[in-house]
Amino acid sequence: MIPTDSLNSTNTTSTRIISTFNPNFSFDILADNARVYTITSDQSFMGLFDVMYVLLFAIVIGEMNNITISYSICIIMIIIWLWTKFNIVKSESILSVRDVGVQVTTVYLNGRSVSKFIDKSKISDIIINEGITMLQVKFYMAIIVEGQDRMVVVFQHLLPKLNVLIQVYRGTRSVIFNEMEEELGEADYPNSK
């Protein structure tokens, strides 16, 4: 955690802070009117699934007698493998700029980037909510946008832990709604530890 006085000072340079409790989380303070919070994935390009896929690929090729069918299956398996690799999320970030709005960005392993900008005038609220699956409860941060049926979920692919979400929530609300971070205390989230 950083000292409060450095958050409230009029700083004209960018300050990068890497979390001590989560090495995949960092944020930049851009003066006193903008912040970028980033979550990065530690998933590698090659993993156990890929090794199993290559073994399956070799078995299929070895068992095939028809060359045309072998090539067709090889091409299909390579396309499926590449498609799964291109859809791995490398990082997700939220940029909040006072009096402007919020930009949510997802960067994929192949370098493709998808961004969504939400104007400040359309932001109704920023919340932390919980989603319940069959086996677990996941917390997520969402932006409620006026005139839309669906919320914009921040970090929807990487889903960081609650303590990271609370820090992002407080910082984003302080920039967008001009709230002091001290007003958003631990009493708001009693189970955050």
Q: How far apart are CA 127 and CA 169, in angstroms?
A: 7
Are residues 37 and 94 in contact, defined by beta-carbon separation less than 8 angstroms?
yes
Averages of pLDDT over runs of 10 residues in the chain (193 residues) are: 38 64 83 91 78 77 70 80 86 96 94 95 96 92 95 94 94 91 51 46
Q: Minimal CA–CA distance to 96: which of 185, 138, 34, 145?
A: 34
For position 190, what pLDDT does the model report? 42
Residue 88 CB contacts under 8 Å (≥ 6 apart), including other chains: 41, 43, 45, 108, 109
**Mode of pairing for the β-strands spanning 34-40 and 25-30:** antiparallel
